[in-house]
Amino acid sequence: MSTILEAKNINKYFRKPVLFHVLKDINFKVNKGEFVSIMGKSGCGKSTLLYVLSTMDTDYEGELYLNNKLITQESREKLSYIRNKHIGFVFQFHYLLSEFSVLENVMLPAKKLGIKTFQEIEYDSMQKLKDLNIENLAKKRASRISGGEKQRVAIARALINNPSIIMGDEPMGNLDSYNSENVFNIFKQLSDEQGLSLLIVTHDEDFAKRTDRIITMEDGRIIY
């Protein structure tokens, strides 16, 4: 089983307002097709860890490997490219560009990557929306759809460049149980059927129990 993401001896400090050791010697791996959840109490550093792993936060010590390649110390331009190509994000608050249509939101990362033609991107985006049963929303403005729908659009956007891994920061955080279940099933399906790796931060125990592996954090350490 190949490793998608590997963290070695990750340490991170917050320097303001006082020096604070947030992440203490984090080591773990995510394999291909694995559905991993990170649990822990508020303030234990699980979100901070996710942002370090996401390459958006570069202020840490240690080494980070994606597809067995060291990506620590890469330039910001290169990291942007890596995020674009290999990492899909789903956040707690449905971050869509509110002035663009649903379809445009999904297409944007693929347009940035610029490998496929416009027609191919449009076709793929429609396909992703269809997979998530929201193709009827394609032409709507992103600000005009409901919360559950927004989260599914965000998932479609995360999938558009066929990334190696999807990261989520409490993606069901403010969805009702119906939508929450819906989103979980989508994740489960992606993991099982398409062999996609998932790394989801959550504090919902029921959710975590149904994933392949739970990483529990306390006071900046992985305890098991």
Partner 1 sequence: MINWKVILSIAKTHLLTKIKQTSIAALGVTFGIGAYITLVSFMTGLNGMLDDLILNRTPHIHVYNEIEPSKKQPIAIYDKFKNSFNVVHSIKPKLSQKKIHNALPIIHYLNEDDNVRGALPQIKAQIFYIAGSIELGGNLTGINVLDEAKFFNLKDYIIKGSPEDLENNNNGIILGIGVANKMSLDIGDRVQISTIKGAIFPLKIVGLYQSGIADIDDVQSFSNLATVQRILGEAENYITDINIKLHNIDLALPMSKKIEQQFKLTAVDINTANAQFETGTSIRNLITYTVSITLLIVAGFGIYNILNMLIYEKMNDIAILKATGFSGKDVQLIFMSQAMIIGVIGGILGLLLGLGLSNFIDTIPFETEALPTIKTFPVNFNPWFYLIGITFAMISTFFAGYLPSQKAKKIDPVKIIRGQ
The rounded distance, in Å, linking the Cα atoms of 138 and 144 is 11
CA 222 centroid distance within chain: 19
The rounded distance, in Å, linking the Cα atoms of 54 and 52 is 5
Report which of 94, 93, 96 is spatially closest to residue 105, judged by C-alpha positions. Answer: 96
Stretch of 78-86, 188-196, 199-207, 212-220 lying at the interface with partner 1 (CB under 8 A): 78-86
Residues 145-164 close enough to bind partner 1 by CB under 8 A:
157, 161
The pattern of x and - marking residues 86 through 105 that bind partner 1 according to CB under 8 A reads ---x-xxx-xxxxxx-----
Q: How far is the CB of 200 from partner 1 (least distance, A)?
A: 15
Residues 15-54 close enough to bind partner 1 by CB under 8 A:
47, 51, 54
Q: How far is the CB of 42 from partner 1 (least distance, A)?
A: 12
The rounded distance, in Å, linking the Cα atoms of 186 and 159 is 12
Interface pick for partner 1 out of 77, 119, 177, 193 (rule CB under 8 A): 77
Q: In what order do the strands lie in the sheet with 197-201?
A: 87-90, 165-169, 197-201, 35-40, 213-218, 221-222
The answer to whether residue 83 forms part of the interface with partner 1 (CB under 8 A) is yes
Question: Is the Cβ of residue 89 or residue 187 nearer to partner 1 in the bound state?
Answer: 89
Residues 191-210 close enough to bind partner 1 by CB under 8 A:
none
* 88, 159 contact by CB (below 8 A): yes
* 57, 136 contact by CB (below 8 A): no
Number of residues that bind partner 1 (CB under 8 A): 31
Instruction: Give me the residues that bind partner 1 (CB under 8 A), please.
Output: 47, 51, 54, 56-57, 76-77, 80-81, 83-85, 89, 91-93, 95-100, 108-109, 111-114, 157, 161, 169
